[in-house]
Homo-oligomer: A and B are copies of this chain.
């Protein structure tokens, strides 16, 4: 089992084949969920898994489960999943690495005529990015019980098209119920690019991901006073945008002073958009994360106190301070992580890093229902959600081999566990 390795050349050609749909001239990808390129790559994916003796199920959210039978088909399959959709100005690796590595692991099992104990499934989750249909991780969220099917179906893009109508249009509105209960897995393993610089900094190919950090999003609305920029003395203003600018700096400073935490402001909107009228209303969002729920609670307290002090000094009112999304720390399953660790130890001769994920992934929602673990691979300069996003084929290959080894080890674990009962 441990000597099995994926076919590097075939894995590499999966990228050149499948990334023809959505490729952009700058070397990046624009394959927004459920567009025509997403349809084409889904059709390609189904062809590939059919060639490996899989049965294909498409659920009500368009998630594709390609299952290769094992010895004991009363067990739910061990899943290997990620996503084929991208950001509008994204790269060829985020998500895509996970699905193509899983496909390659499946092909390797199939080529070696390996009979696994449990069935093995490759899963392509719909709309992980949430770039076209917010929020992110939508369809794994429905499967994992975080969102209702109705919520998932009714999400719409900027032009008003819904997930359901677009699933129907591209022929991927399946009839399998989208839920763990109706369509279970035994476990979920996911390879993903790190999207950060830690592995590169330590010259490592592979990370064993033990969990996902605690994450909160906030919506903040400030109200100052619309005043004429030319006639209002500098010391008689309630300048809402100036106040927001001070907050943005302070939010950054708070996270810098609290090791293990991150805080970022990326979205801002000021009204009225008039060059000579001071903004009277400014909206912005905060993305705050920390390695533990406790640390994030501490960060939240500091951010709010700092912003309230700034607003008070500036004569600006905080009209809205809402936590609009909360995703507590996810600790991955110990056994699933151990199988990844053992596999990484063997494939990478002990050279890997244990880490937590800074970003959310489909595995956050599968972890609500089934033993889950993730494998990170190195990506250049830590850049992601950008056309220059890059991971080498050698690193992708290492990740696929760790995935293969982890799944086969988990299958062995299921077999021993089941037979000992």
Contact = CB atoms under 8 A, between A and B. Distances in A.
B131 A231 contact: no
A228 interface: yes
Contacts of A275: 217, 266-267, 285, 287
A194 B227 CA distance: 12
A158 B235 CA distance: 34
A87 B131 CA distance: 36
Interface size, A (range): 35 or more
A274 B267 contact: yes
A96 interface: no
Contacts of A89: 226, 272
A383 B227 contact: yes
A230 interface: yes
Contacts of A56: none
Contact of A196 (B197, B231, B268, B358): B231
A242 B265 contact: yes
Contact of A266 (B88, B197, B198, B278): B278
A327 to B, nearest CB: 10
Contact of A233 (B197, B213, B359): B197
Secondary structure class of chain A's binding surface, majority of residues: loop
A245 B265 CA distance: 10
Contacts of A215: 230
Contacts of A226: 89, 385-386
Contacts of A264: 229, 239, 276, 278
Assembly of this chain: how many copies?
A: 2
A262 interface: yes
Interface in A190-237: 194-198, 213, 215, 217, 225-236
A387 B328 CA distance: 44
A266 B277 contact: yes
Contacts of A278: 264, 266
Contacts of A279: 266-267
A213 B231 CA distance: 10
Nearest to A276: B287
Interface in A115-156: 131, 136
A253 to B, nearest CB: 10
A385 B232 CA distance: 12
Nearest first, the 10 A-B pairs at minimum CB distance are: A196-B231, A231-B358, A230-B358, A245-B248, A229-B264, A245-B245, A195-B231, A229-B287, A230-B359, A275-B285
Interface of A: 87-89, 131, 136, 194-198, 213, 215, 217, 225-236, 239, 241-242, 244-246, 248-249, 252, 255-256, 262, 264-268, 270, 272-280, 285, 287, 289, 357-360, 382-386
13 contacts: A131-B274, A136-B276, A197-B232, A215-B230, A228-B384, A232-B262, A242-B252, A245-B246, A266-B275, A266-B278, A266-B279, A267-B274, A276-B287
